[in-house]
Structure 1
């Protein structure tokens, strides 16, 4: 059974023949291996062109900012998977990446789409206020704002915005984010600092990264952090400790036989 369109059987990413491998128009062996760093290559692979120095600096900062986030659920899932299947690094890595959704790590995509909407509505103070009031009326959270621990300000977000200002990246998405951050506490009646999930899409969109590939940024970053946790798990396992403590923390309140 054929599903979907059948008339676009093409790719612009890579090809090879008996003598060469071509990636985005570059010879992999002579032009890329040993000649380009991985952030350059990541941008080239996704966007089809090499990043400018400014774009690479901004992407590097974003990747470093969120590669490691402690024992969050996705990391626990990965470590417990490796504890149960120590031969299956790929399964453990997949378990961690599959746990990156709208609440943890994948929230940058949600914030990015929200910022694009605010910018499309004008990107000014009026657009920010109208958007916030609509979210309040619908009793919805403000994407990219608020943090359970860093209530006075997410230091990672502050650093990314500082870098964006310094290297000349800050544009309409950073402006919109800052307007939202300035107006949200008064409208929502609670502290709502800009968080790293808001700063990342703001700075990387202004740097020229496509919205449709936004989720790739935290996915790539967290793959590095997961590799660290999985290597440590293989040397100093805590997966079963995590599992045991989860069992102790949960009280059964279902039916009993007595």
Structure 2
């Protein structure tokens, strides 16, 4: 048993971006704590341009971004889910209303995964990144809009620099959203980036990849009975290979389960208590 699973962790940090002014207006006070629109641990370049349309929007860029899971920056209600013709503006895109006049937009998606009227939670998958619409290459176009006007983006309390190309790492729903003191990055270790996540309701199964070693890693983070040993498991199977599994009574998580999977499809899954989920073969190559 990994001793880390039996230990707790406490602490909080308040990130305040330099140069930001907190206004007394209702709109400013209602601004959600917007997160980077990707899974916890995912790193990409936030590119901002003079003359970008609309002004103050952000293009998230990264090699191989096509097919990467796009997540809700904050909770809300889906107000637009569009599939515009090839070569037209946003292509496939989603808009989410967060209340208080605030809305976010996610454009050039390869896949839309939610419909108008759906209620989404922070970190929930909205679709997959791509290159639909009027683009020169794959990226995610992102906007934080207040009463219809695109604002300079703030991610987890940190202002995105204008005009620049700045690396950001997502803190969106880290810890599985259930108060778990551990993140998938801590469990799998240095060099791994989260590429997918499945919520069990009572925890989250996280799939990570290390581009340097070509290895995948799976961990299941509990969201219930934290600090108390209870049934949890994590599984990983590389196509053509056998299932690798870590299963037992653990206080915080199962795993890490790792395997070399460069240029191969993987099947990943896990369980918390009696709730179990396993993917089809996916993330090939």
TM class by smaller structure: under 0.3
> Could you say which structure has the larger radius of gyration?
1
Which structure carries more strand by proportion?
2
> Which is bigger in relative contact order (C-alpha 8 A, separation at least 6)?
1
State TM-score, norm by structure 1: 0.23
State TM-score, norm by structure 2: 0.22
Which structure carries more helix by proportion?
1
